[in-house]
């Protein structure tokens, strides 16, 4: 074994150790393929340290508009999605978003036959690069297509497993039609401004979620008709993002951040490495006003100070809003962060207090208790649905707590 190979093997072993400590690559077969596949060969422009950094995606191609990119997803995300997908030997697999070809090589190993894997990407440069990498690594049997991922690849359907490494706002009709009975679908879906890696089993004509994790990916090209956005500051620096079925009028909020701030603290704290995304997920079930506020990191805190720059939940009600915030709290040597809300506009106090009530309700079970998500075809009538309904173009998302009860408090 030469020195470079030994160094790559050591970096890969360290990567897997860290990924497993995060709670991913829990399936033995997923750990096995991550351990045996040389990720650095699919991202030759990256240093070995970057290629095997468990938290880092490696950008490999930027599209002509400069707004989107193709990359090798961070290893912990790859492991998370493969755990969710639960590939079995002999499965037929469709991958939406070819990337570098690395993920397709892992899928080929899991399926036991490279010809069982079909991958598609809309960008010809991306598919050409993925094909070259797959062939060089010995996976030339993987079928690589250039085309619209939303259309899938019907000529090789039906599929036992479908995985999207781009983020759709909806589940396209073609994906529904290309699923085999009992198939699993894993995709980073978007609703109410958030993005979550969701795993479904296709059963009785519907998709039943059994895994739901925070996730973020490049958007599926052309799948943007359902998510809207607009600035709420005159310089257009701060924006809201919401779904088309929500009533949000950005013009009504112009200047609202210049009005006095009303802040309410919840009394609920989290450690620096403790997730709080369940607050946002909960609000997608309990409050139809929740969406996303995007405030760049260079915006002064006195103007807008969300818990996470660019991606934080916000409640919008006419000419008022309140968004999730945090403050440092120290008890002896322990440092924690208290969750709260900053509100602006005539209903600022009400919205901030309501936000904190939702934080407290979430905190009872934290992320050990997530809502159930079931996705139905768009033609499903209302009387067959029970819970919070979010309508898309091709499907209807239904979220519930406690067997259909909308609220758990």
CA-to-CA distance for 193 and 312, rounded, in angstroms? Answer: 9
Q: What is the pLDDT of residue 66?
A: 53
- Please give the mean pLDDT across all residues of the chain: 92
Tell whether 64 is covered by a domain: yes
Q: DSSP for 50-110? A: HHT-TT--EEEEE-TTSS-EEEEPPHHHHHHHHHHH---TT--EEEE--TTSHHHHHHHHH
**CA distance readout (Å), 175 to 159, 394, 403:** 9, 10, 27
Q: With 60 as the cut, is the pLDDT of residue 81 above it? A: yes
Range of the domain at 386: 371-409
Q: Are residues 363 and 379 in the same domain?
A: no
Domain presence at residue 222: no
Q: Last residue of some domain: 214, 247, 262? A: 214
What is the pLDDT at residue 408?
A: 38
Predicted pLDDT at 332: 81
Residues 129 and 210 in one domain: yes
d(CA 306, CA 176): 37
Please check whether residue 294 lies inside any domain of the structure. yes
Residues 162, 41 within the same domain: yes
Residues 201 and 234 in one domain: no
- Residue 405: is its pLDDT beyond 50? no
> Which of 214, 236, 251 finishes a domain?
214
Q: How far apart are CA 173 and CA 191, in angstroms?
A: 17
At residue 409, the pLDDT reads 35
Q: Would you state the pLDDT for residue 3? A: 54
CB hemisphere CA count around 363 (13 angstroms)? 16
Q: Which of 47, 68, 70, 105 is catalytic?
A: 70
Residues 77 and 184 in one domain: yes
70 is an active site residue: yes
Q: How many residues does the chain have?
A: 409
Give the mean model confidence (pLDDT) for residues 205-211.
97
- Give yes or no: residues 208 and 355 share one domain: no
pLDDT computed for residue 57 by the predictor: 87
Please check whether residue 215 is in contact with residue 194, taking contact to mean a CB–CB distance below 8 angstroms: no
* pLDDT over threshold 80, residue 407: no
Let me know: does 263 contact 342? Beta carbons within 8 Å.
yes
Using CA atoms, how far apart are residues 287 and 402, in angstroms rounded to an integer?
Answer: 17
- Does residue 60 surpass a pLDDT of 70? no
146 with 170, same domain? yes
Closest CA to 373 of 225, 218, 197, 181: 197
Q: Is residue 339 part of a domain?
A: yes
The arithmetic mean of pLDDT across residues 342-367, rounded, is 96
Question: Domain for residue 219, yes or no?
Answer: no
Same domain for 264 and 199: no
Q: What is the pLDDT of residues 86-107, one digit of tens each?
A: 999 999 999 999 999 999 999 9
pLDDT of residue 368: 76
Q: What is the pLDDT of residues 158-191, one digit of tens each?
A: 999 999 999 999 999 999 999 999 999 999 999 9
- List the strands of the sheet with 334-344, edge to edge: 227-231, 239-243, 290-294, 312-317, 320-331, 334-344, 262-270
- At 236-284, the pLDDT tens digits run 999 999 999 999 999 999 999 999 999 999 999 999 889 999 999 999 9
Q: Considering 187, 214, 241, which residue would you say is the last residue of a domain?
A: 214
User: CA-to-CA distance for 102 and 139, rounded, in angstroms?
Assistant: 10
Q: Which of 174, 122, 203 is nearest to 394 (CA)?
A: 174
Whole-angstrom Cα Rg for the chain: 22
User: Does residue 355 share a domain with residue 324?
Assistant: yes
Task: For residues 192 and 270, state if they share a domain.
Answer: no
The total domain count for the chain is 3
The pLDDT score that the predictor gives to residue 221 is 64
pLDDT > 70? residue 46 = yes
Same domain, 54 and 203: yes
* CATH number of the domain within which 86 lies: 3.40.50.150
Residue 220 resides in a domain: no
Q: What is the pTM of this model?
A: 0.92
Q: Please give the Cα distance from 47 to 4 (Å, whole number).
A: 12
Residue with tokens 């069982």: 116
Q: Identify the pLDDT of residue 214.
A: 87
Q: Is residue 221 part of a domain?
A: no
- pLDDT given for residue 225 in this prediction: 73
d(CA 186, CA 167): 11
Question: The dihedral of CA 135, 138, 140, 145: what is its sign?
Answer: negative
Closest to 3 in 3D by CA, of 67, 69, 48: 48
Residue 387 above 50 pLDDT?
Answer: yes
For residues 122-146, give the mean pLDDT: 96
Q: Which helix (H) or strand (E) holds 134?
A: helix 124-136
Same domain, 62 and 206: yes
CA distance 243 to 193: 7
Give pLDDT, residue 5. 80
In contact, 196 and 280? CB cutoff 8 Å: no
């Amino acid at each position: 074994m030469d020195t470079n190979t030994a160094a790559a093997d050591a970096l890969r072993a360290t990567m897997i150790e860290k990924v497993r400590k995060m709670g991913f690559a829990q399936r033995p077969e997923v750990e096995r393929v991550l351990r045996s596949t040389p990720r650095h060969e699919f991202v030759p422009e990256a240093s070995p340290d970057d290629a095997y950094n468990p938290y880092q995606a490696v950008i490999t191609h930027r599209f002509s508009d400069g707004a989107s990119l193709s990359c090798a997803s961070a290893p912990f995300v790859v492991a998370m999605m493969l755990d969710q997908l639960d590939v079995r030997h002999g499965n037929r697999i469709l991958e939406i978003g070819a990337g570098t070809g690395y993920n397709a090589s892992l899928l080929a190993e899991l399926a036991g036959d490279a010809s069982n894997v079909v991958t598609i990407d809309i960008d010809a440069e991306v598919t050409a690069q993925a094909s070259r990498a797959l062939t060089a690594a010995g996976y030339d049997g993987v079928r690589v297509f250039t085309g619209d991922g939303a259309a899938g690849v019907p000529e090789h359907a039906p599929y036992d497993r479908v995985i999207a490494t781009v983020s759709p706002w909806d589940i396209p009709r073609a994906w529904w039609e290309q699923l085999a009975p009992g198939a699993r679908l894993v995709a980073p879906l978007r609703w109410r401004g958030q993005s979550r890696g969701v795993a479904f089993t296709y059963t009785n004509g519907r998709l039943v979620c059994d895994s739901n994790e925070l996730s973020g990916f490049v958007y599926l090209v052309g799948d943007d008709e359902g998510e809207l956005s607009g600035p709420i500051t005159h310089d257009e620096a701060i924006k809201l993002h919401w779904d088309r079925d929500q009533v949000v009028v950005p013009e009504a909020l112009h200047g609202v951040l210049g009005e006095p701030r009303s802040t309410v603290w919840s009394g609920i704290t989290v450690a620096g490495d403790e997730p709080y995304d369940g607050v946002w997920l909960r609000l997608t079930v309990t409050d139809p006003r929740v969406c996303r506020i995007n405030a760049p990191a260079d915006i002064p805190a006195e103007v807008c100070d969300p818990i996470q720059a660019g991606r934080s939940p916000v409640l919008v009600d006419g000419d008022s809003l309140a968004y999730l915030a945090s403050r440092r709290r120290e008890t002896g040597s322990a440092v924690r962060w208290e969750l709260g809300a900053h509100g602006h506009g005539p209903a600022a106090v009400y919205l901030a207090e309501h936000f904190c009530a939702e934080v407290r309700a979430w905190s009872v079970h934290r992320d050990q208790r997530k809502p159930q998500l079931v996705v139905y075809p768009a033609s499903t009538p209302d009387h067959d649905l029970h819970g919070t309904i979010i309508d898309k173009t091709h499907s209807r998302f239904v979220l519930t707590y406690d067997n259909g009860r909308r609220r758990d408090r």
